Structure 1
Amino acid sequence: MDRAQQLSEFLKTRRARLRPDEAGAGVFGGRRRVPGLRREELALLAGVSVDYYTRLEQGRARNVSAEFLDAVAGALGLDADERAHLHNLARPGSARDRPDRPQRVGPEMRQALDALTTVPAYIIGRRLDVLAWNEPARLLVADFPALPATDRNMARLVFLDAASRALYPDWESKARDTVANLRFDAGRHPDDPRLATLIGELSLHSADFRRLWADHGVHGKTRGRKRFAHPRLGELALDYVAMRAPDDPDMTMMIYSAPTGSDAATSLRLLTALPAPPSDLGMTII
């Protein structure tokens, strides 16, 4: 993936989503052929040189300062994840880990995962690869051990597996979050060949992925709520929290739970008591 192109497209899409009146730029007049702010308007709001901002948006700027990027991010109204993404793209080398180095789940993370016996949890790494899981996660999300190693990837499951699409009643929201997480990873490691291969594969086989990838939405994994439509337990809403590994910023444990006494909590207790369904040893490709 070309870092300069990613940076250019990201800035253009963020600028296009700003309306002059919302950005406090009511003084800007004239007819508009496209939505959003013009480059010179954005530069004025940020208090930076129009020429230098133009070079930044075209991917031609060199040695961009953090202060300059923060000024642009403020004018664009970027949130914390988008701001970090901008810095990753504009200042090569800010990501700390080599993307080609194999990831290993350390003993502390493995121990924590094994201790979670009643709630679904799994560990994801770069490219949204699923590195480890517990039994409740296998019963709720996917039968990870039955999948080939290359298919143990949340993006592949969300966009290419028919069963996973049926699992999420709010599939569009899940898909958008997945793409935004993958885009955040791409900003940290734009030179990762395996990530480029994954994005190419998803773009080739999924029109939904192509549509969402073009939006340039970006955010990391934090917390929230997801609804599941389990084939045997029915629908349940679970809260999730992402816990980053202390020694690897590209490794996160996702933990799902439900409020005590809720219907979802009752369903989770029943989850591990269900007899295991027969496995088809692979994804059902959409």
Structure 2
Amino acid sequence: MEGPGAPGGASPGVIGADYRGTVPSDLGEFLRNRRGEVRPDDVGLPIGRARRVPGLRREEVALLAGVSVDYYVRLEQGRERNPSAQVLDALAETLRLDDDARQHAFRLAGLAPRPVSTRREQVSPSLLQLMDGWPGNPALVLSRCYDVLARNRLGTALFHAFTHSDNLLLNVFRDPAARAFYADWQYAAVNTVAGFRLATGSAPDDSRTLAILDELRATSPEFRQIWARNQARGKSAEVKTFLHPEVGRITLRMQTFDVREAPGQQLVVYHAEPGSTDAQALALLGSIAATREQVT
């Protein structure tokens, strides 16, 4: 295993060296949080009776990752500022990080390029045209910091109850309609925060990202508690149930796609099981949206 403090005293690897910089203290906090979520028996260690921590001890992580205890302690404390890609790979394996969490750890360590563009985000006309061609599927385009950049007619109708802002994360925590809209608000909140952390990890100093975090830290104790868990997990294929004020309970499958021509943007598309009551509710929602559009 390469890396300072590893057996043999090898020097750090060169993978990702072009992007290596100062390791933010967030990396140590992230490792510490993840360490607390791995049980000893998850990695083949005995639980024992005298454990004072819910997860792994630092000594155990160091042993399993093949680095010295002193080196790992310095990583968690932020005193070690140049972990190699090999060291992070070993820690990711030890801490059982999934692909999203592993990617987030590498970004925190400065081992992935970070976009520097400050241009205003826009959605391409071709993507807008594609979304409009899905009259039976709610569709949204999210920015890296979860601002809703575009939506089709049914996407607007699905989230019609939200009036606080055009930001998904702010709406989950700040809009009074959110708790009545999501059948499982807690689950939605945790997933949204984890996705936001992962998405914004490549540009943590972005002014819009910092403004959203400042607002939520100042106004939402629940957000502060969930944010402190340090979970990073992208949107994936999943099932969501909404309690829509106009069509009632509706369960939809959600698919998320990265927009290749605009890195950081995500296309989110919902669909109902064909022939189901959810499909009927979605069709009714489409009729309501069309009528509302004609009136206005």
| TM-score > 0.5, shorter chain as reference | yes
Deviations 1:179-216 (A, max 9, x none): 00111123221222321221111111112111111111
Aligned to 2:240: 226
- Segments of structure 1 that go 5 or more residues without pairing to the other structure are 278-286
The number of equivalent residue pairs is: 270
Distance of 2:28 and 2:83 partners within structure 1: 14
Give 1:47 deviation, angstroms: 1.3
Q: Is the partner of 2:91 in helix, strand or coil?
A: helix
How big is the shift at 1:21?
Answer: 2.4
Q: Of 259, 263, 274, which aligns to 1:260? A: 274
Alpha-carbon offset, residue 96 of structure 1: 4.0
2:72 aligned residue (53, 70, 80): 53
The residue that corresponds to 2:209 in the other structure is 195
Deviation at 1:30, TM superposition (A): 7.6
Please give the alpha-carbon distance, in whole angstroms, between the structure 2 residues aligned to 1:164 and 1:224: 19
1:185 aligns with 2:193: no
Q: 1:14-67: per-residue Cα shift (whole Å, max 9, x none)?
A: 1011222222122x8683332211111101011122222222222232332211
**CA distance in 1: counterparts of 2:272 and 2:206, whole angstroms:** 36
- In structure 2, the residue matched to 1:176 is 190
Find the partner of 2:136 among 109, 115, 118: 118
Residue 131 of structure 1, aligned match among 149, 158, 167: 149
Q: Which residue of 2 aligns with 1:156?
A: 170
Deviations 1:161-196 (A, max 9, x none): 011221111111111111001111232212223212
1:212 aligns with 2:226: yes
Aligned AA for 2:54? P
Native 8 Å contact 2:136 2:286 kept in 1? yes
Q: Percent identity?
A: 42
Structure 1 residues 203 and 182: CA distance shift in structure 2, 3 A: same
| CA distance 1:222–1:60, shift in 2 (3 Å) | same
User: C-alpha distance in 2, partners of 1:186/1:104?
Assistant: 17
Aligned residue runs from structure 1 range 266-285, under 5 A: 266-274=280-288, 275-276=291-292
Higher relative contact order (CA 8 A, sep 6+): 1
Tell me the CA shift for residue 135 of structure 1. 0.8
